[in-house]
Chains A and B, each alone.
Chain A
Amino acid sequence: MKSFSKELRERFPEQVLSVEESVSGQVTVLLNNSDATAITRHFLTERQARLVTVFAEDRVKAEGVFYNYYVFDRLGDPSWVILKAPISKDHPSFPSLAAELPSVNWQEREIQDWFGLEAAGHPNPRRVALHDNWPDVHPLRKDFPLDTVLPAFEGERHVYRPTLGEGVFQIPVGPVHAGIIEPGHFNFAVAGEPILYLQLRMFYTHKGTEKLFENLPIPRAVFLAESISGDSAFSHGAAFCQAIERAAEIEVPQRAQFMRATLLELERIANHIGDAGAIANDVGFVIANAHAGRVRELVLGLNETLTGSRVLRGMVAIGGVRRDWQRDQIEAIEKTLAVVEREFRDLTAILQSSNSTRERLERTGILRPEKAAMLGVVGVAGRASGVDLDVRRDHPYEAYRHLPFRVPVYQAGDVRHRLQVRIDEVGESLRIIRAAVAQLPGGPHRAPRQPIPPGRCALSAVEGWRGEIIHWVRTGENNRLERCKVKDPSINNWPAIVETMEGNIVADFPVINKSFNLSYSGTDR
């Protein structure tokens, strides 16, 4: 930390005002202006760092400025580095990094839409998070009330890139889809069957979540975190609680840490099994999906026994978990997992027994490792394309430093390997849970409730089943929040789907999309 601080000050003497480690493992570097370009370049090239996320905060009333935060991490180094760049309210603009770093494309445009700060030089500065026909408002500014009633829309105004030429045409799909899935718009340009390119339009489910966080008492906000992405209720809930715990220096009892790890892995298992079935279903292998649905039910039943909810809601709490486990509940874990393990092995054998299925999955929807790295792809999709990241290993939290697991990484980047990562991870999760149960310590399951001190900031990361979930909070007066930034892994991974289209046909889009299985609500918030 000392050498890092010294090096940074020597290298950028004009720009770096201070280097602080207010939360253990989180280094905040305060800059004197809004231009993070040079230091970012330095981090990315000389320190082999990765830009994890960029987000903004309105501190105009408190400090007279806005801030942009750039969060970095580095393989092999468990600490986070956060650049904090002030943006003047009289000149609400910051230099865009998107041309060099496509991974921040949408995130910078979110800042434009929600805060009214211009990403100067952005190669595609159109609106993203607020649709084109919204009035000129910036909802995450402090002077914009949550319950503002906006005027009615005046028709659709979004213009897609046209598809021109003989024999080529466009297929618009959504936002209401044919399956039981979330809303988004896919605009395919096709020449017969082959896809030329795909344009995405998201944020149909934008429901003011980050603004709403600023308007709820913190204990109630835990339930909002569970509703960011319904299939990741526990992961987002845990990420949020962990951010508050770090900010307020609340020590989570050991027992609760092992219980949380167990539930995080159960969420992963349930979703991975569901996805394995859904991928099979999308290539017409219906019977495999039926078995997967049945096996998944076993896990959801266990979830209910452990938390009262099939989808793990209402369990995580600031300082631990809401309910302790009795012996019969703990015994149910091993009993159920033994069946799940056996059944999942059979399911995997069925999946792999069919040549026609393998044929459809192999070399379909390839995401090349260099593109995955460039787009900042994380999680399952990243690990199938050579991106060796896993928050559980790289920034250990909860009980993970005491639990054994391997991180499967493949280079091929096709649907088949996104499926393989899931299959491998179910096995790893079973190992983690068994180890967690074997080591489950006694003692309390929740720290004593206490008021949260104001003015504290902290970052939290959790490896959800989809990938890296980031929450960043600044606490406020009266047990409330000044700001809660939420980043679901989906926001990095959506643009990657576009990159996998080349050489594929429209009929393969559903299975490619399913192999990523990204969250719309987590993206749109």
Chain B
Amino acid sequence: MFKILQKTFSVGTATADYPRIAPRVAEQFRGCPEFDFAAWNDARPAAEACPTGAIALIDSEGLRQVIVDYGRCIFCGECAETSADEAVRMTHQFELAVTDRRDLVLTAEYTLYPDGSHAALLSATSGPGMEETGKRIEAAIHNLLGRSLSIRQVDAGSCNGCEQEIVALNNPVYDIERFGIHFVASPRHADMLLVTGPVTRNMELALRKTWVATPEPKVVAAVGACGISGGIFGTNYASLGGVDAVIPVDVYIPGCPPRPEALLHGILLALGLARRGGM
């Protein structure tokens, strides 16, 4: 007993003070890719290399649409690797959670030449509404002490990658309970469902039942590329794709898997929603 106490005291505080202080990440850490659409001369190698179809090209006569979907991105870095120009680069950005699925999708339009190359950016949408998200979260944390949040985690078919990082939220480094947030054993005790995917055909019914068993008002967060879009699995005979193919989703948290701070960011965003919902 003495040994245990001694060890615990000697360690001191292990908890990192995210989100007040930005997390220390390795220089090599890969967050989401960033695209300089105006400087991007050829999107084909990146689209070809992207394992999940997060970068897609739609060519019609004289027009090329490049669609970048952060909801499919697994942050592998292949797009930056294969793009000869510096137009695509990997960043440390991971706070990507949004409430509107469309905010994860960027579109750029180019003039398409007959040889398959393109030039002259015609138009591009801006990145996910990250700044706005940041403000919302600040507000949510500001009011935090007034209320706690109970989360039921549901694995609707994931590879267990996201679960590892969700489990890590409970370790002393992330210590999610410091926000009054805790994981509960039953959907009947939950305010929020934290769902990973892709939703398999064999889990569809269980997911629906879990959602029905969660009392109103409730919030659903879809976690990871697979939870948002089906990720590398997409939709197939055994996979229905993202969580919103089965139940309504309020918050989308990109990543593969999202690092614990990214999950926390998304959960705090959802907390803001939950509060507005009168919980």
User: Using a CB–CB distance below 8 Å, which chain A residues touch chain B?
Assistant: 131, 134, 137, 139, 144-150, 153, 156, 175-176, 178-183, 203-209, 211-212, 216, 219-220, 222-224, 227-231, 233, 274, 287, 290-291, 293-294, 296-297, 300-301, 304-311, 313-314, 322-323, 329, 346, 349-350, 353, 519-521, 524
Contact = CB atoms under 8 A, between A and B. Distances in A.
Interface string B74-88: 111110010000000
23 contacts: A134-B201, A153-B201, A176-B210, A180-B183, A181-B155, A183-B155, A183-B156, A183-B157, A216-B51, A223-B51, A227-B226, A228-B159, A230-B161, A230-B163, A230-B164, A287-B4, A294-B11, A294-B172, A297-B171, A305-B27, A308-B28, A308-B29, A349-B3
A216 B210 CA distance: 33
A318 B163 CA distance: 27
Given A183-B156, A308-B30, 12 more contacts: A182-B158, A206-B201, A209-B233, A212-B232, A212-B236, A233-B161, A274-B164, A308-B26, A308-B90, A314-B78, A353-B4, A521-B159
Nearest to A302: B26
B239 A207 contact: yes
Interface string B45-69: 0000101100000000000000000
Contacts of B163: 180-182, 230
A297 B52 CA distance: 28
A304 B159 contact: no
Given A206-B202, A290-B171, A521 B160 contact: yes
Interface residues on B, range: 35 or more
B71 interface: no
- Most chain A beta-carbon neighbours within 10 Å: one of B49, B90, B159: B159
Residue among A183, A227, A233, A520 with max Cβ neighbours from chain B (10 Å): A227
A229 B159 contact: yes
Contact of B236 (A131, A147, A308, A311): A147
B28 A293 contact: no
B229 interface: no
Nearest to A278: B167
Contact of B187 (A176, A233, A296, A519): A176
A229 B210 CA distance: 24
A227 B231 contact: yes
B7 A304 contact: no
A311 B14 CA distance: 21
A322 B163 CA distance: 26
Interface in B226-243: 226, 231-233, 235-239
Contacts of A134: 201
A254 B28 CA distance: 23
B4 A350 contact: yes
Nearest to B31: A308
Contacts, number: 197
B76 A313 contact: yes
Given A220-B51, A229-B160, A204 B171 contact: no
B167 A180 contact: yes
B259 interface: yes
Interface of B: 3-4, 7-8, 11, 14, 25-30, 49, 51-52, 74-78, 81, 90, 153-168, 170-173, 183, 185-187, 198, 200-206, 210, 226, 231-233, 235-239, 256-257, 259
Contacts of B27: 305
A297 B173 contact: yes
Given A294-B173, A311-B164, A156 B200 contact: no
Contact of A212 (B81, B200, B205, B233): B233
Given A203-B202, A294-B173, A227 B7 contact: no
A182 B160 CA distance: 7
A150 B237 contact: yes
B11 A211 contact: no
A250 to B, nearest CB: 19
A182 B155 contact: yes
B262 to A, nearest CB: 11
A200 to B, nearest CB: 14
A519 B160 contact: yes
Contacts of A520: 155, 160
A329 B26 CA distance: 10
A283 to B, nearest CB: 15
A139 B165 CA distance: 32
A179 to B, nearest CB: 7
Given A181-B163, A205-B203, A223 B155 contact: no
A207 B238 CA distance: 5
Contacts of A147: 235-237
Contacts of B74: 223, 313-314
Contacts of B259: 310
Closest 4 CB pairs of A and B: A230-B161, A293-B171, A178-B185, A230-B159
Contacts of B205: 153, 156
Given A176-B154, A211-B236, A308 B77 contact: yes
A451 to B, nearest CB: 14
A316 to B, nearest CB: 11
A173 to B, nearest CB: 11
Contact of A208 (B153, B210, B226, B238): B238
Nearest to A277: B171
Given A212-B233, A346-B7, A350-B7, A223 B76 contact: yes
